[in-house]
Amino acid sequence: MSHIVDIRDLRIEATVRPPGEKSKQITIVDGVSYQIESGKVLGLIGESGAGKSTIGLAAMAYGRGSVEITGGEVLVKGTNILEGGVAALHELRGQTITYVAQSAAAAFNPAKQLMTQVTEAALAHGLMSKAEAEARAVSLFKQLGLPNPETIGSRYPHQVSGGQLQRVMTAMALCPKPELIIFDEPTTALDVTTQIDVLAAIKRAIRDTGVAAIYITHDLAVVAQISDDIMVLRHGKTVEYGTTDAIINHPKEDYTTALVNVRSIEHAEAEPTPEFLLQAQNITARYQGAEFDVLRDVSVEVARGQTLAIVGESGSGKSTLARVITGLLPAAQGALSFDGRTLSRDLAGRSREDLRELQMIYQMADVAMNPRQTVGTIIGRPLAFYFGLKGEEKRRRVQELLDLIEMGSGFMDRYPAELSGGQKQRVCIARALAADPKLIICDEVTSALDPLVAHGILKLLLKLQAEKGLAYLFITHDLAAVTAIADSIAVMYQGKLQRYGPKSQVLSPPFDDYTDLLLSSVPQMRLGWLEDVIETRKMESAGN
Amino acid sequence: MIRIPLAAVIGLFLTSTYFLVAIFAPYIAPYGMAEIVGDVWEPMSIEHWLGTDNIGRDLLTRMIYGARTTIAVATFATLVSFVIGSVLGFTAAVFGGWVDQALSRFVDLIMSIPSLIFALVVLSVMPVTLPVLILVMGLLDSTRVYRLSRAVAVDIYVMDYVEAAKLRGEGRGWIIFRELLPNALSPLVAEMGLRFIFMVLTISTLSFLGLGVQPPNAEWGLIVKENKDGIVYGIGAALWPALSIATLAISVNLVADWVLTRTTSLKGGRE
Amino acid sequence: MSSVLTLIAQRVALGIVLLFFVSLLIFLGTLALPGDVAQTILGQSATPESLANLRASLGLDQPPLTRYLNWLAGIFQGDLGNALTNGRPIAESIGKRLGNTMFLAFWTAVIAVPLSILLGLLSVRYRNRWPDKLISSVTLTSISVPEFLLAYVMIFVFGVKLGWFPTISLPNDSMSLGQKLYSISLPILVLVMVILAHMMRMTRAAILNVMESAYIETAELKGIKQFTIIASHAMPNALSPIINVVMLNLAYLVVGVVVVEVVFTYPGLGSYLVDHVAKRDLPVVQAVGIIFAAIYIGLNILADVLSILTNPRLRHPK
């Protein structure tokens, strides 16, 4: 057997030190085994907290912080590296196995030129001369599609874009001609149109060099494009381990099935209606002290009881539009009307009714709730503030709202820190509902959540809409969520409306170049998708 | 059931002992504050546990009354600096704009002069009395409290939950007292301990330089000044304040550490 | 490169503006005095005529703005006015003392800076083990004691009981450098202990902060040896915060010097200031105050300029 890495019955523990308490050992990975043959790619997939990065790094016998491998064997080319000592590990790391981190911006030393860092491992291990290493780096830059491959090495990390830096990092991992590369969520921090280029570059590099790889991600559709085998992880244990085809097309476990089908919500588009709840006309806005408009002449409408999704990448102005509608950033030009009345551009000029009927939910539920208030206080405050509810009556209403968001009893006196990510977002939804609004602005409400949790939140939002006739302004970069929830769609690009209309119309050809790029960049849960897209795309990614 | 770590218990015990001694000094002290009861620099004995000072007063009595002055001045000066510093710091963070600019630039100006030098310049024109000392120390130190509370409040003020309160239509009162204050409290309380220690060091330094508490009053720094000439003869009377200041500082530090770790475990401070 | 120069120019200009306002603030102090300088000199029993005469000769009959401008103009010409107590020009008395103070501060820095960086590195290397804990508890104790008390403890132990060092520091020009240094060994020891504690703790925090960065992990995963990682990856990034720490503490030294000079009756600027505060000799207090403020502000500017120069983002703009 030509296994590069053969991990058997891995057990990993960490020491946690809660403030004011005794430190204790917790098990974060238990009983995990996997093998990688030369030239093959293994995908590790799981939610946050599944231990996937920890398991990946175990192939280099590396533990972050207080993390320690306490059981099992890590065989690299037949030798158990857990018993080999420090010198052997120095030999292995950066020579036999290399690593690509999630955030390239943080993983590069800001004080050193890229070329120095890319060739460092090869030189430190004495694998090639400086000239050879630099020549190899330049050819790798070329191979990975970086602009100006001859000179980019003389730049500093902050001088190149995020997508480029991630490719330089891949070059850095390839430079010492390793036998295995560990990719730790290498595209997660990137915009969707940039992600696809980096993904394609990585896939090409793996194919051309014949290196084996471990590819760690939370996105099953991404890993399906690149790996030969997939291991599904949850809470530090193996859920399912098999070939990519078996996992994607014939999942055995319920959890795997749920992951495969996570993007399957189908929301039938509502009939277009001329009855608009919110109208924003010719909005132009800029931030104080900025020299350009972040929004230019944007006009959109939200129909009563329907959902308008605003889609775009970072910097497209979609969140700014939300701030303009809420009045936090008064528009420089344009008009807003709500439920038949004019809405003041400035927050201070709005009536209490205006504020009550237009609620907002945030991306990071963590910081959207005061950590020193209980769930009861958080949900109860709008009830007291808008409706003057007190005491037992308020408490009963809070419980009704908790039931509505499917949380049930026992949460009233808890603090936000004691809730899971999905529960936090549900409490935020309940707080918005407490005001009995007509429109809720949802700003990237599912982006920070794991796919299955996000799926649950989307279903809840749809249910609430059907029951209460709520309208949503749903801001997101995630096109899968858009398909699931929207009735109409506005695509934004560089502060302008790129494409706008009913969902069916926006999502059917003919497309303009940008919408085509955006739509085609969303990873799909089928094998061979990546190759098809790269063949047929009209435009290079917007991020470069 | 609250479990208090040993270090915090020691800190709490020593700190409260010092404060009790300060409050009840006249009842605890064996002799009168300025009463001459023996020879110059008598050694330790049953009558005079710490011996006597440079003009024959009981040193233990002087130390006890010294605790009273030192701790009272430091406490009041800390209160002055916190009331002024945190009110202005929060104001700057919440109002922003020119209010923030004006306050912050003025504080930059004050802090561009070392505070001891500034205090000396001010004390060269003001009469040296306890209220003046408290005010001068409190005002100078309020610049540091201002910077901390402004920074803490600005950090909290950009949080989405504060924005959510603004969108709800809440007034400034709710935002300051219900959203900002509960979250700013624990760093401020911990800082209060550090500022108090700094005040103890400052008042004793000023008194030592002859520009703080004046004789015949007792103060720890002053006791050093009065007895320093004995040092070259090998008489250690001037060194007792070193012990008391160091133990007070360390025990207050321990308490502040405990308060900080306890209140930052994010369960709203409940266990 | 030009943007760096602009930043530095801005920082220096800001410092000068600040110093200007400080001079205004210090001058305003005189106006807060109950009564005036003439009253202070002649005492309560002075006749109105003699007061008026003295006021005229001191220029106190002119409006405050004129007096301030005169004072400021004098400073630029090296004329700091005359002391009230002996009537001699202040600049003359200050010259020698400033040199003495600088001598003390310089040798303190020469010892304290390398030592604190070394100790900082040591406690990072042995983080949470006994050398780290020992260093941290010793420095915590020395922070908790005011400078003057630390000084007396040193005098008591090393000067009196052990008799190793002189207890009074009076260097003069006839001494060799070695003799001079020996005569100020105790004040240097005290000052070193005071700023060492702060400097070492801040250095430790700065290095730890860098060592926890993701790029250090990247280097570890390249199989680079620990020493190379510290020297070639951590150091270039830790340099700027460490320089900042050093400068801030040298500025802090200004305050420490005042007290320590008084304890050792060292003929420097600090003991001169304290003497004349007690005598309410305003012109001297103002002059020395502005010199201390200028040194303090100057060191802070230097810290900022050096940290701008060592920041790769500013040195290599996009």
C161 contacts B250? CB cut-off 8 A: no
Joined together, the tokens standing for residue A296 give 């230019």
**Residues B111-126: what's their mean pLDDT?**
84
Neighbour-count burial of A30, counting CB atoms closer than 10 A to its CB (0-12 exposed, 13-18 middle, 19+ buried):
middle
Say whether the peptide bond before residue A510 is cis (omega within 30 degrees of 0): yes
Closest by CA to B85, choosing from B113, B71, B69, B106, is B106
Q: How far apart are CA A168 and CA A115, in angstroms?
A: 9
- Does residue C113 sit within a domain? yes
Chain C CB contacts of A159 below 8 Å: 316, 318
Chain C CB contacts of A156 below 8 Å: 312-313, 316
A368 contacts B160? CB cut-off 8 A: yes
Q: What does the pLDDT read at residue A463?
A: 92
Examine the domain organization and report whether A476 and A381 are in the same domain: yes
A101 touches chain C (CB under 8 A): yes
DSSP SS3 for A538: coil
Domain CATH number, residue A175: 3.40.50.300
- Does residue C61 sit within a domain? no
- Does residue C190 sit within a domain? yes
The distance of Cα A289 from the centroid of its chain, to the nearest Å, equals 31
DSSP of B166-205, one letter per residue? HHHT--HHHIIIIIIHHHHHHHHHHHHHHHHHHHHHHHHH
- Does residue C97 sit within a domain? yes
Closest by CA to A183, choosing from A99, A110, A112, A240, is A99
Joined together, the tokens standing for residue B240 give 């007792």
**Residues C191-213: what's their mean pLDDT?**
86
Q: How far apart are CA B231 and CA B14, in angstroms?
A: 28
Task: Quickly tell me which residue has 């250090």 as its tokens.
Answer: C216
B124 contacts C285? CB cut-off 8 A: yes
Chain A CB contacts of C217 below 8 Å: 64, 101, 107
Q: How far apart are CA B91 and CA B166, in angstroms?
A: 16
Joined together, the tokens standing for residue C228 give 């190379």
**DSSP-derived secondary structure letter, A102:** S
Examine the domain organization and report whether A239 and A330 are in the same domain: no
B112 contacts C297? CB cut-off 8 A: yes
A448 touches chain B (CB under 8 A): no
The answer to whether residue C318 scores a pLDDT higher than 80 is: no
A106 contacts C221? CB cut-off 8 A: no
Residue-wise pLDDT for B122-136, tens only, equals: 888 878 889 989 999
Residue-wise pLDDT for C56-91, tens only, equals: 776 666 777 887 888 888 888 777 777 777 778 888
Cβ atoms of B73 and B130 closer than 8 Å: yes
Examine the domain organization and report whether A209 and A113 are in the same domain: yes
Nearest CA in chain A to C221: A93
**Residues C207-217: what's their mean pLDDT?**
87
Q: What does the pLDDT read at residue A20?
A: 56
The shortest CB-CB distance from C258 to any of B110, B116, B124 is to: B116
DSSP of A153-167, one letter per residue? GGS-GGGS-HHHHHH
Neighbour-count burial of A541, counting CB atoms closer than 10 A to its CB (0-12 exposed, 13-18 middle, 19+ buried):
buried
Nearest CA in chain B to C140: B250
- Does residue B109 sit within a domain? yes
Q: How far apart are CA A474 and CA A540, in angstroms?
A: 27
Task: Quickly tell me which residue has 């000392």 as its tokens.
Answer: B133
Joined together, the tokens standing for residue A134 give 């630099």
Q: How far apart are CA C172 and CA A437, in angstroms?
A: 84
Domain CATH number, residue B254: 1.10.3720.10
- Does residue A527 sit within a domain? no
- Does residue C109 sit within a domain? yes
Say how many CB pairs under 8 Å bridge A and B.
Answer: 66
Chain C CB contacts of B122 below 8 Å: 29, 32
Cβ neighbours of residue A336 under 8 Å, at least 6 residues apart?
A: A278, A279, A280, A281, A283, A324, A325, A342, A343, A344, A345
Examine the domain organization and report whether A312 and A247 are in the same domain: no
Domain range holding C272?
91-278
Q: Which of B155, B168, B266, B267 to mutate to test the interface with A (most CBs of A within 10 A)?
A: B168
Nearest CA in chain B to A360: B164
Where is pLDDT greater, at B49 or B79?
A: B79
Q: How far apart are CA A311 and CA A476, in angstroms?
A: 5
Q: Exposed e or buried b for every residue in C253-289, given b needs 16+ CB within 10 A?
A: bbbbbbbbbbbbebbbbbbbbbebbeebbbbbbbbbb
- Does residue B1 sit within a domain? no
Backbone angles phi, psi at A242, to 5 degrees: -170, -175
Per-residue pLDDT of chain A (544 residues; tens, 9 = 90+): 578 899 999 999 988 776 556 678 888 899 899 999 988 999 999 888 788 889 999 999 998 878 888 888 899 988 888 888 888 888 899 999 999 998 888 899 988 899 999 999 999 999 999 999 999 999 999 888 888 899 999 999 988 888 889 889 999 999 999 999 999 988 887 888 888 888 888 888 888 888 999 999 988 888 889 999 999 999 889 999 999 999 989 999 999 988 888 777 777 788 777 788 999 999 999 887 777 888 999 999 999 999 999 998 887 888 899 999 999 889 889 899 999 899 898 888 899 999 999 999 998 888 899 988 999 999 999 999 999 988 899 999 999 999 999 888 888 888 888 888 889 999 999 999 999 999 999 998 988 888 888 889 999 999 999 999 999 999 998 888 888 889 999 999 988 999 999 988 888 888 888 888 888 888 888 888 888 887 776 555 544 4
Single out the residue in A204, A233, A260 at which a domain terminates. A260
Identity of residue A58: A
Residue-wise pLDDT for B156-206, tens only, equals: 988 899 999 999 999 888 998 899 988 888 888 888 888 899 899 899 999
Query: B193 CA to chain A: closest CA distance, Å?
Result: 19
Identity of residue A162: G
Say how many CB pairs under 8 Å bridge B and C.
Answer: 138
Domain range holding B68?
6-270
B101 touches chain A (CB under 8 A): no
Examine the domain organization and report whether A145 and A16 are in the same domain: yes
Closest by CA to C188, choosing from C118, C121, C266, C95, is C266
Closest by CA to B168, choosing from A354, A323, A390, is A354
Q: What does the pLDDT read at residue B146?
A: 93
Domain CATH number, residue C209: 1.10.3720.10
Query: With left for phi above 0 and alpha for psi between -120 and 50, is residue A494 left, alpha or beta?
Result: left
Please report, rounded to a whole number, the percentage of residues in chain C having pLDDT higher than 90: 4
Q: How far apart are CA B150 and CA B88, in angstroms?
A: 8
Q: What does the pLDDT read at residue B268?
A: 38
B169 contacts A385? CB cut-off 8 A: yes
Query: B32 CA to chain C: closest CA distance, Å?
Result: 26
Backbone angles phi, psi at A497, to 5 degrees: -75, 120
When divided into structural domains, chain B yields a total of 1
B265 contacts A20? CB cut-off 8 A: yes
A370 contacts B163? CB cut-off 8 A: no
Nearest CA in chain C to A111: C312
Examine the domain organization and report whether A178 and A280 are in the same domain: no
C277 contacts B239? CB cut-off 8 A: no
Domain range holding A411?
276-520
When divided into structural domains, chain A yields a total of 2
Backbone angles phi, psi at C70, to 5 degrees: -60, -45
What contacts 24+ positions apart, CB below 8 Å, involve A321-327? A321/A280, A321/A283, A321/A295, A321/A475, A321/A492, A322/A360, A322/A441, A322/A443, A322/A473, A322/A475, A324/A280, A324/A283, A324/A285, A324/A295, A325/A278, A325/A280, A325/A358, A325/A441, A325/A473, A326/A358, A326/A360, A326/A441, A326/B167
Residue-wise pLDDT for C104-122, tens only, equals: 889 999 999 999 888 888 8
Q: Which of C144, C248, C304 to mutate to test the interface with B (most CBs of B within 10 A)?
A: C144
Examine the domain organization and report whether A44 and A92 are in the same domain: yes
Cβ neighbours of residue A448 under 8 Å, at least 6 residues apart?
A: A363, A364, A365, A421
Q: How far apart are CA A95 and CA A97, in angstroms?
A: 6
Examine the domain organization and report whether A132 and A205 are in the same domain: yes
- Does residue B176 sit within a domain? yes
The shortest CB-CB distance from B160 to any of A18, A20, A362 is to: A362
When divided into structural domains, chain C yields a total of 1
Residue-wise pLDDT for C146-156, tens only, equals: 888 888 888 88
Lowest mean pLDDT among A506-515, B52-61, C35-44, C173-182: C35-44
Query: A170 CA to chain C: closest CA distance, Å?
Result: 12
Closest by CA to B190, choosing from B252, B267, B115, is B252
The distance of Cα A23 from the centroid of its chain, to the nearest Å, equals 32
Nearest CA in chain A to B7: A20
Task: Name beta bridge partners: A443.
Answer: A475
Cα three-residue angle A106-A112-A114, rounded to 5 degrees: 80
C224 contacts A124? CB cut-off 8 A: yes
Where is pLDDT greater, at C2 or A95?
A: A95
A93 contacts C221? CB cut-off 8 A: yes
C224 contacts A107? CB cut-off 8 A: no
Other residues' Cβ atoms within 10 Å of the Cβ of residue A209: 15
Chain A CB contacts of B96 below 8 Å: none
The answer to whether residue B269 scores a pLDDT higher than 50 is: no
Examine the domain organization and report whether A210 and A330 are in the same domain: no
Q: How far apart are CA A414 and CA A60, in angstroms?
A: 41
Q: Is the complex ipTM more than 0.85?
A: no
Query: A99 CA to chain C: closest CA distance, Å?
Result: 7
The answer to whether residue C10 scores a pLDDT higher than 60 is: yes
A421 touches chain B (CB under 8 A): no
- Does residue B198 sit within a domain? yes
Closest by CA to C18, choosing from C308, C305, C297, C299, is C297
Examine the domain organization and report whether A307 and A238 are in the same domain: no
A19 contacts B261? CB cut-off 8 A: yes
A101 contacts C313? CB cut-off 8 A: no
Cα three-residue angle A68-A73-A76, rounded to 5 degrees: 105
Closest by CA to A200, choosing from A179, A217, A186, is A186
- Does residue B26 sit within a domain? yes
Q: What does the pLDDT read at residue C2?
A: 66
The shortest CB-CB distance from A367 to any of B160, B166, B267 is to: B160
Backbone angles phi, psi at C82, to 5 degrees: -110, 150
Nearest CA in chain A to C311: A111
Examine the domain organization and report whether A281 and A421 are in the same domain: yes
Q: What does the pLDDT read at residue C33?
A: 59
B159 contacts A19? CB cut-off 8 A: no
- List % helix, strand, coil for chain A (3-state, nearest 5): 40, 25, 35
Residue-wise pLDDT for B244-262, tens only, equals: 888 898 888 888 878 777 6
Query: C249 CA to chain B: closest CA distance, Å?
Result: 12
- Does residue B256 sit within a domain? yes
Examine the domain organization and report whether A291 and A187 are in the same domain: no
The shortest CB-CB distance from A107 to any of C214, C224, C236 is to: C214
